[in-house]
Chain A
Amino acid sequence: MADTGDYLLYFSIAVSAVALAGLLLKELRNNDILSKFISPLIFLTTGILAFLYLLLTYYFIAGNFIYEYVWQYSSRDLPLIYKISGVWAGQPGTYLLWVLVVFLSSAWLAFTTRHETALARRTQIITLLTGIFFIILTIIQTPFKTIYEGRPDLIGFIPPDGNGLNALLVNFWMIVHPPLMFIGYAAMTIPFAAAIVYLITKEDGWEELGRQWARFTWLFLGLGIAVGGVWAYLVLGWGGFWAWDPVETASFIPWLTLTGFLHAAALHRKNKATFSIAAPVLAAISFILVVYAAIVVRSGLFNSVHAFGETSTGTLLIILVVVTFIVTLLLGMRRYFEEPGKEEEEWGLWSKRNIFYISLLLFVILSFISLWGISFPAFIQLTQGLKVNVASDTKNFFNLWSYPFTIILLLALGFCLNYKESEKEEQKKILYAVTAITVIAMFARTENFYVLDHNSPFFTREPQIYKLLGSISLLSIFPPLIYAAYATIQRLMGYLRLGSTRPKVKGIGLAMVHFGVVLILFGAVISSSFTHSNDRINVPLSAKGELLDVGGGYGIKLIDYSTRSLTETTGSGAGSPGTRISSIKSDPASYVNNNVVVSGKVTGVAYTQSNTTPVTYTAYFELNDGTGSIWAATQSAEPITIPEGIDLTASGFIMADFTSPSTKTTYDLIVFSQPDGISETSTVSGSDKYRVQSAKLEVYQNNQKIASGTAEYLEGKDGGSGTFPMVSSGITGTDVYVIFQGVGGGFVPLTLKIIPAINFTWLGILLFAIGIILIMAMKTKSRGD
């Protein structure tokens, strides 16, 4: 039983297929018969998909729980913003978002180029092919599947409420992280398409098209990863802002190769012969890796804390990766053998191009390490049925292999940004000196400041070679960091002296991005090496207001503890137990002569007593739950009093058109309840899906207050939970961080962390974002700045 939504998805395939046919006719037969329809058809497809997206959002807001997807990820008591973000909580919705952004890019391409050039048309062909592929994926895992599908016995049943969002997803980060990621993923399509066209036809101008889109993707993907990092930083048990979990690593890999592409494109645009294969191949590979990241999340092969679980579309994604990879590889090889030796004169080891090439190779090595580290355990599991770990502690593998190449990359960064043909000999000497100091620093022996934590029980279980690499002193990161920072500032000075605005602003952007690298690495190394952690602190609830020494010179004072419902509805409205009164009123036929539970505030009362013996007393009371009001009644041999204004829950039998024998009042609907079927609605009512516990805290160091704030713990009824630590940032960049895990046995369990320098990382990410936006805004059409 397909839904309207599904029909519209099929229709969108048909529409975009006609647009594709038009482009192919033009391309292969030079036939213009459909040409003037191409853009309108693309706009139409985009419009349909946008409509479908809004429709799904509407279903979430309206609580249309006959859709399995809506039922699974939404519920009535969620605040509006989480109903909207629930759309991207699961796979079907994210596919729809993905395909929508692909078509928005396609529409943008149609709008800006009007398909006037062969490059634009060919890029559009590949974009549309990709888009149609993703519509098919969306249809396979459609968000418009109703609960009746395959369950004819359920037909007619309308779930009163949804399952609700996992408590872990009920926070601000869930609102921003997925859209950023999926916009980034989808925007990767155009650089890929342009690169493939270039590899096939050597069409000029591809890098103009690809570069701007690549920067956009780089920004969104980067922000998505960073926001994911912030989220993980705030969630208990995710191992801090970066834990090399397969899913987070998988999204980092295309970002790395994309960074490589941006560097390759920077030289390629100045001289078409430079990186004429590396640049398009990196762009294409970045797209392939984005699809690979989707596989990591969706195939069920990768064991991750973040995985969506197994699905039917995994295989199709694998096919897409394999096909696009083979195509890219063959095209790249063809180009390579087509122009042997012709490419360029000897570069020389110390030429700018060569140092750039080394940087590209380093980006490739770094992405390979991450790719290999998440992939080969899955491969072994698939082929040999063994579960292996990449190292005694997973993160050790990635840290120790990435570290040396990161150091070399920083040195290359410093050298390139300082690069001046005339001062090359001078600069080589500086590089030699910095490299020498770095190498010496690697051997420095300190208490514990190494690539791998020597105090960790895992360190002793690592193999010899890992121990060796892991014993490189982290002091060795400072000379390259200082060198890179110095070079960036030098470079910035140069830009500031420029006369014209555009290259100047662009240069400032460039300097910001590179300075961001320095800050991020500094923050990452310092914060992960010098975090002071105090686990298992138990503050008795009775010790409220007392300063408790927790060791290490730190103390914690519990100021206050309170609980509340996530939805601040005071006993009425969406948070009330039972059926909403508006639902009964809108569809009385399905409720009459059935049992219901209603609750609300008592807004009217009337009492009657029978003139029979024994006397029966009847109390009529009107309940209002914010969505509507309904009368209810109960009888007893004793007089009953119902105070107005209290919150009551009544369960009983619904009757229509009931006339009171004594007052002759007619009620069109009334709920008859036994006296024991009426109870005061407790503040912690049964339908309260999300409860928040808050602990107001003060943290002391040597009896001096260093931080205060509130740590919260959100508990979902389904068992999920979310932590909202108290994070208090000092000006030195140090975070005082307290995780609260929910009261148990009269104790407030806390974890105290003092995390230094973490804010440098956030600042670096901010510089990344602002820098790339400046670069994008100052897009230069001509060759060379």
Chain B
Amino acid sequence: MKTKKLLSIIVLVLILAIAYGTYTIAISDFTLSDGNNSYLGGITWNRSLDNGFQMAKEQNKPIVVYFWAVWCQYCAGFQANTLGNPEVKKILEEDYVLVAMDLDRDRDVARKYGVSYPPYVLFLDGNDNVLERVAGAVDAKTFLPIVTEVRDKFRRK
């Protein structure tokens, strides 16, 4: 009886410790999005497309809208390797207004632009014109020239 009780208590304590530890770690290290922003690929993204348009007009920058989902297997890799690529990341952060749309929440926006699966990147100008679309998890080698070209074209205008 004693052994059994002792074992049960040890397991209970263990479970509670794991529960508490993982909960705290998840909040401190792995918050993907809060009320205003999403944090994907080491980049901070705006969660509101309307704010994005406003900022784009104010700063005269094009917008990158990134469609993602928690359950998307390819998004994780795309964020780590493509969006997180230092060169890509630098251009995105300096020359674009960044908006992330969560396919579990922002379904209407996705529908409006005909986005049916993640990952999907949409380039817009401040007047809601689609400049470019990148569907699927492309690698940094493919993504970098697109990011550069869309920016340059936008500036020439």
Q: Give Cα A219 to B125, complex, Å.
A: 56
Among B28-36, B55-63, B90-98, B145-153, the stretch in contact with A: B28-36
Cβ contact within 8 Å between B30 and A238: no
Cβ contact within 8 Å between A303 and B26: no
Cβ contact within 8 Å between B32 and A346: no
Q: Give Cα A457 to B86, complex, Å.
A: 14
Cβ contact within 8 Å between B102 and A305: no
Q: Give Cα A343 to B3, complex, Å.
A: 13
Does residue B130 face the partner (Cβ distance < 8 Å to A)? no
Among A385-393, A489-497, A569-577, the stretch in contact with B: A385-393
Q: Give Cα A386 to B102, complex, Å.
A: 12
Residues from chain B with Cβ under 8 Å of A344 in the complex: 1
Cβ-defined partner of B18 (8 Å) among A372, A386, A393: A372
Residues from chain A with Cβ under 8 Å of B134 in the complex: none
Residues from chain A with Cβ under 8 Å of B113 in the complex: none
Residues from chain B with Cβ under 8 Å of A686 in the complex: none
With both chains docked as a complex, state the minimum distance between the C-beta of B117 and any C-beta of chain A, in angstroms.
Answer: 8
Q: Give Cα A245 to B72, complex, Å.
A: 10
With both chains docked as a complex, state the minimum distance between the C-beta of A391 and any C-beta of chain B, in angstroms.
Answer: 7
Residues from chain A with Cβ under 8 Å of B38 in the complex: 387
Per-position contact with A for B113-139: 1 when CB-CB < 8 Å, else 0?
A: 000100000000000000000000001
Residues from chain B with Cβ under 8 Å of A385 in the complex: 34-35
Residues of B2-40 whose CB lies within 8 A of A: 2-4, 7-8, 11, 14-15, 18-19, 21-23, 25-27, 29-35, 38
Nearest opposing residue in chain A for B21, CB measure: A465
Q: Give Cα A223 to B4, complex, Å.
A: 33
Residues from chain A with Cβ under 8 Å of B81 in the complex: 457
Residues from chain B with Cβ under 8 Å of A1 in the complex: none
Residues from chain A with Cβ under 8 Å of B2 in the complex: 346
Does residue B110 face the partner (Cβ distance < 8 Å to A)? no
Residues of B33-80 whose CB lies within 8 A of A: 33-35, 38, 69-74, 76-77, 80
Does residue B104 face the partner (Cβ distance < 8 Å to A)? yes
Residues from chain A with Cβ under 8 Å of B70 in the complex: 303, 377, 387, 389, 394
Nearest opposing residue in chain A for B30, CB measure: A389
With both chains docked as a complex, state the minimum distance between the C-beta of A752 and any C-beta of chain B, in angstroms.
Answer: 17
Contact A372 B19, CB 8 Å, known A365-B14, A386-B34: yes
Nearest opposing residue in chain B for A354, CB measure: B3
Contact A386 B8, CB 8 Å, known A303-B70, A368-B15, A372-B22: no
Residues from chain B with Cβ under 8 Å of A391 in the complex: 26, 30
Nearest opposing residue in chain A for B8, CB measure: A361
Cβ contact within 8 Å between B1 and A346: yes
Q: Give Cα A303 to B76, complex, Å.
A: 15
Residues from chain B with Cβ under 8 Å of A364 in the complex: 11
With both chains docked as a complex, state the minimum distance between the C-beta of A349 and any C-beta of chain B, in angstroms.
Answer: 5
Cβ contact within 8 Å between B7 and A357: yes
Cβ contact within 8 Å between A361 and B11: yes
How many A-B residue contacts, CB cutoff 8 Å?
A: 109
Contact A365 B11, CB 8 Å, known A357-B4, A387-B33: yes
Cβ contact within 8 Å between B80 and A458: yes
Task: Please tell me the number of chain B residues within 8 Å of chain A, measured between CB atoms.
Answer: 40
Cβ contact within 8 Å between B31 and A237: no
Q: Give Cα A458 to B29, complex, Å.
A: 12
Contact A237 B22, CB 8 Å, known A385-B35, A390-B30, A457-B80: no
Cβ-defined partner of B32 (8 Å) among A354, A372, A387, A397: A387
The bracket for how many chain A residues form the interface is 35 or more
Does residue A376 face the partner (Cβ distance < 8 Å to B)? yes
Nearest opposing residue in chain A for B104, CB measure: A303
Nearest opposing residue in chain B for A240, CB measure: B73
Does residue A347 face the partner (Cβ distance < 8 Å to B)? yes
Cβ-defined partner of A719 (8 Å) among B1, B19, B80, B116: B116
With both chains docked as a complex, state the minimum distance between the C-beta of A281 and any C-beta of chain B, in angstroms.
Answer: 12
Nearest opposing residue in chain B for A385, CB measure: B35
Does residue A358 face the partner (Cβ distance < 8 Å to B)? yes
Residues from chain B with Cβ under 8 Å of A347 in the complex: 1, 3-4
Cβ contact within 8 Å between A393 and B33: no
Nearest opposing residue in chain A for B35, CB measure: A385
Q: Give Cα A377 to B27, complex, Å.
A: 9
Residues from chain A with Cβ under 8 Å of B76 in the complex: 393-394, 458
Q: Give Cα A390 to B71, complex, Å.
A: 12
Residues from chain A with Cβ under 8 Å of B7 in the complex: 354, 357-358, 361
Residues from chain A with Cβ under 8 Å of B77 in the complex: 457
With both chains docked as a complex, state the minimum distance between the C-beta of A621 and any C-beta of chain B, in angstroms.
Answer: 40
Contact A463 B15, CB 8 Å, known A303-B71, A385-B35: no
Cβ contact within 8 Å between A392 and B30: yes
Residues from chain B with Cβ under 8 Å of A719 in the complex: 116
Q: Give Cα A147 to B30, complex, Å.
A: 44
Residues of A686-723 whose CB lies within 8 A of B: 719
Contact A346 B73, CB 8 Å, known A387-B102, A390-B30: no
Does residue A171 face the partner (Cβ distance < 8 Å to B)? no
Contact A245 B18, CB 8 Å, known A386-B33, A388-B32: no
Cβ-defined partner of A243 (8 Å) among B11, B73, B139: B73
Q: Give Cα A385 to B31, complex, Å.
A: 11
Does residue A369 face the partner (Cβ distance < 8 Å to B)? yes
Does residue A150 face the partner (Cβ distance < 8 Å to B)? no
Nearest opposing residue in chain B for A397, CB measure: B22
With both chains docked as a complex, state the minimum distance between the C-beta of A243 and any C-beta of chain B, in angstroms.
Answer: 7
With both chains docked as a complex, state the minimum distance between the C-beta of B41 and any C-beta of chain A, in angstroms.
Answer: 10
With both chains docked as a complex, state the minimum distance between the C-beta of B142 and any C-beta of chain A, in angstroms.
Answer: 9
Nearest opposing residue in chain A for B1, CB measure: A346
Q: Which of B32, B73, B116 has the most CB of A within 10 A?
A: B73
Q: Give Cα A386 to B34, complex, Å.
A: 5
Does residue A380 face the partner (Cβ distance < 8 Å to B)? yes
Cβ-defined partner of A388 (8 Å) among B21, B31, B69, B84: B31
Does residue A553 face the partner (Cβ distance < 8 Å to B)? no
Cβ contact within 8 Å between A376 and B23: yes
Residues from chain B with Cβ under 8 Å of A306 in the complex: 71
Nearest opposing residue in chain B for A536, CB measure: B139
Cβ contact within 8 Å between B1 and A380: no
Cβ-defined partner of B31 (8 Å) among A345, A386, A393, A397: A386
Q: Give Cα A391 to B18, complex, Å.
A: 13
- 7 A-B residue pairs with Cβ-Cβ distance under 8 Å, sorted by A, are A303-B71, A347-B3, A376-B19, A376-B26, A386-B27, A387-B70, A388-B31
Task: Report A's interface with B, CB cutoff 8 A.
Answer: 237-239, 243, 245-246, 303-306, 341, 343-349, 354, 357-358, 361, 364-365, 368-369, 372-373, 376-377, 380, 385-394, 397, 401, 457-458, 461, 463, 465-466, 536, 719
Task: Report B's interface with A, CB cutoff 8 A.
Answer: 1-4, 7-8, 11, 14-15, 18-19, 21-23, 25-27, 29-35, 38, 69-74, 76-77, 80-81, 84, 102, 104, 116, 139
Given A368-B15, A380-B23, A392-B30, 9 new contacts (CB under 8 A) = A237-B73, A243-B73, A303-B69, A376-B23, A377-B70, A386-B34, A388-B31, A392-B29, A458-B76
